Structure 1
């Protein structure tokens, strides 16, 4: 198995991160969502400037194998995980585990006792595996479409 390295975000990562997110939603999350929902969540055209600002603001952790970006996840100061994506071709290879372990460590170091996220149907079993529990099922509107997701939390204190 290849070594997974976790590094800090750089501004030049924004475009590859969008491609990773887009491809993962289109190829993996499409198992659990309707085509119109997938297209709303990962539209063909987005504002590169707006995505750059969003990526810069969330400053995610980057997972790499041999220099290739294979996943990313962020941890906000209040414990919110806004994005957590693993490359469609690297599912089940430990990328998500490496990112989650990194989030747990970073959270503890920052004194964050509670992690929480709005988790897709697809990612729910993964988050449950790491001790997250569902607080509520909810309906989120994204680009005019409604998608089911789950507000989940985990106490790491």
Structure 2
């Protein structure tokens, strides 16, 4: 279990792209499987990946990366309006403080950006974590992804 002094949160680097994709893919398929079907998981995180698109996506959102013993164990971003697009913790490091440290970092960045609120589209699986971090559900929603209907929640926390 990483201690706060062992966990480093730093800006995204281009060399993180492949490791963050693997983290995303395996977390979706190992953690979210208790709340979504195999077809939904495959739509959310398909086996085939366009790494050029992924790299562009990461460059676009500029996430912060949580690193423990030279391993990327989580990543999350915050946009200038307070939107959190990606928030993922390595499936083998769930419940060890990585998510909390990342969220606290986002809160600090959001304060610097003077965002009025933090908001995200949150999976069924991540709902309890976001609630513990002070977010409230605005509404449940259905989104279509690669032909599959997935339930998630628009959640927000006022700054």
Q: TM-score, normalised by structure 2?
A: 0.96
Alignment partners' CA distance in 1, 2:16 and 2:30: 21
Alignment partners' CA distance in 2, 1:31 and 1:50: 28
- Runs of 4 or more consecutive aligned structure 1 residues displaced over 4 Å after TM superposition: none
Report the secondary structure of 2:95's partner residue: coil
1:141 maps onto 2:144 in alignment: yes
> Please, what is the CA RMSD of the aligned residues?
0.7
Alignment partners' CA distance in 1, 2:120 and 2:39: 23
1:16 maps onto 2:16 in alignment: no
Alignment partners' CA distance in 1, 2:63 and 2:151: 24
Alignment partners' CA distance in 2, 1:107 and 1:67: 26
**Is the Cα–Cα contact under 8 Å of residues 117 and 151 in structure 1 kept in the other structure?**
yes
1:63 maps onto 2:66 in alignment: yes
Question: Which 5+ residue runs of structure 2 have no aligned equivalent?
Answer: none
1:32 maps onto 2:7 in alignment: no
**Is the Cα–Cα contact under 8 Å of residues 116 and 153 in structure 1 kept in the other structure?**
yes
Report the secondary structure of 2:52's partner residue: helix
Q: TM-score, normalised by structure 1?
A: 0.97
Question: Which 5+ residue runs of structure 1 have no aligned equivalent?
Answer: none
Q: How many residues align?
A: 156
Give the corresponding residue for 1:75.
78
**Is the Cα–Cα contact under 8 Å of residues 24 and 88 in structure 2 kept in the other structure?**
yes
Report the secondary structure of 1:28's partner residue: helix
Report the secondary structure of 1:122's partner residue: coil
